[in-house]
Structure 1
């Protein structure tokens, strides 16, 4: 088996991850290891592997060898894959017994971050796979959206935009996964808020081949879930403060927030969640906010 050239993408990967925030990440060299000793990471961000492309890669590996090693970590008596499941699958198809691998000493969080960043940089993941990976990282490692964004070298708005995709109906998410609609189309659909409007617009996109700009323009003419007439808005400073606070909460929690008053004094704040995982993500974020507030007292 041949190993040609230097590992592409690793320098960029490591520059995006704050090494100081992952103290359990250490490096070792490249070794040829038995494929039979490698276990696939159950939390691999990438879920979609195309058979035709795997067969093509396997044939290339038979002829030229594997150009870029996979990345693994030692776990018990075997190795756990961090990066390179597609390459590993192709090597198995090529009936190789050994594979070149970078061996990393990494804890669970560092391993998950490396896998996520590498896949994002290689554009191997569809938007829903990225969103699900973001959600899992936030919940499992109790990160805020801002903390996750810092660790993967992205803006918080980028993380927020991906997480919003998980609030779309499953029918729309499937079209994103299959590549029938783009991330831009999905963001335009999110603005509609009502699931029935989103589904109707999806059908128009697929039938008429609408561009992202066309969808955005059409979305502006349709009602939103929480739209209210401007004449109904109280323009007092208190109401403006409430509106501003609700908007800020929605932006930080990536969820709809509703403020209700019952008798002019008492009331309640309603935070919408999509499923159990979404609720856990919101609770993690609120818990960190409360802790920060307590530290300032």
Structure 2
């Protein structure tokens, strides 16, 4: 039985994808007869870059050579045929000169169709880490009816043992992505705090995600951007970037007043007062009285 708060449809969609994995095509349909709803493609979350002719060139060439090996998923809505998953294959097939593609029909309303699209993309090897993470959090947000910040907070509290996973997120993440709350509550959550430039650098494989994660403590701005560019150009490791960030933080922190520093030093020495005897003890008492009068001049 599905736990309270977990979408039964989400697990139903997972089961459906298992059944569809090795299923042969139901039909060949004209590409022009299939309507694409962009909002159902999670890859468009970061824009349309993955759907340009240039981005589809390699896939189109493979289709020219081998054909469309995996059917696209479609659903019927009244007189329309709507695409559920496989937009890149569909567009690459058209780019390759095909007029028809193999399809599998799925029985799904809008909510189920979106979940199937998410799951189908999650199971693909070519989905980059950034897109997968942003889509994953968007999926959790829709399924659990929580904001992204609320989801991150939930993952943090579950990971720290401060609450039970009563929404069943661990199972959902593992079924979809093979990783659970520990990974999503830490490494994946850091991607949400990265700049657009840092995410793009990860997608372009200019830097590793671990490198960009070390930049997150810095405020957005020229310094952070410069460190990203340096890391990319010099091939810096995450550890090297961490050291640079720490150095930057130390140099930009406002220096403490000298008296505050001396006060901290004195506080650590106060326990030694009890060791003083004779003239040294009387001198210490005199100094303490003078200091008290300076700090609190109110007549006693």
Q: TM-score normalized by structure 1?
A: 0.58
Which structure's residues are more often helix, by fraction? 2
Residue by residue over 1:81-119, the C-alpha shift from the partner in whole angstroms, topping out at 9 and shown as x without a partner, is 232222111111133232111221123343333323332
CA distance in 1, matches of 2:183, 2:37: 25
1:151 pairs with one of 172, 175, 178: 172
Asked whether the equivalents of residues 46 and 124 of structure 1 are also in contact (C-alpha less than 8 Å), the reply is no
Gaps of 5+ in 1: 1-16, 232-297
RMSD after superposition? 3.6
Deviation at 1:79, TM superposition (A): 2.6
Residues 116-155 of structure 1 correspond to what in structure 2 (within 5 A)? 116-141=118-143, 142=145, 144=151, 147-148=168-169, 150-153=171-174, 154-155=179-180
Aligned to 2:53: 51
Which of the numbers 182, 207, 217 marks the counterpart of 2:208?
182
Residue in structure 2 matched with residue 34 of structure 1 by the alignment? 30
Q: Deviations over 1:10-32 (max 9, x none)?
A: xxxxxxx9976444775786222
- Which consecutive unaligned segments of at least 5 residues does structure 2 have? 1-5, 156-167, 257-263, 265-300
Structure 1 residue matching 2:38: 3-state secondary structure: coil
Aligned 1:55-70 pairs, distance under 5 A: 55-70=57-72
Q: Assess if the C-alpha contact under 8 Å between 1:72 and 1:103 holds in 2.
A: yes
Q: What CA deviation, in whole Å up to 9, does each residue of 1:48-90 have, x standing for no partner?
A: 3263463343343234322111122223322322322221111
Instruction: Determine if the alignment matches structure 1 residue 207 to structure 2 residue 203.
Output: no
Aligned residues: 213
Residues 164 and 40 of structure 1: is their aligned pair in 2 closer, same or farther, counting only changes over 3 Å? Answer: farther
CA gap of 1:135–1:22, structure 2 versus 1, over 3 A, is: same
* Inter-partner Cα distance in structure 1 for 2:36 and 2:183: 28
1:221, distance to aligned residue in structure 2 (A):
4.4
Give the number of the structure whose alpha-carbon radius of gyration is greater: 2
| Structure 1 or 2: more strand by fraction | 1
Q: TM-score, normalised by structure 2?
A: 0.58
Contact between 2:129 and 2:203, CA under 8 Å: does it hold in 1? Answer: yes
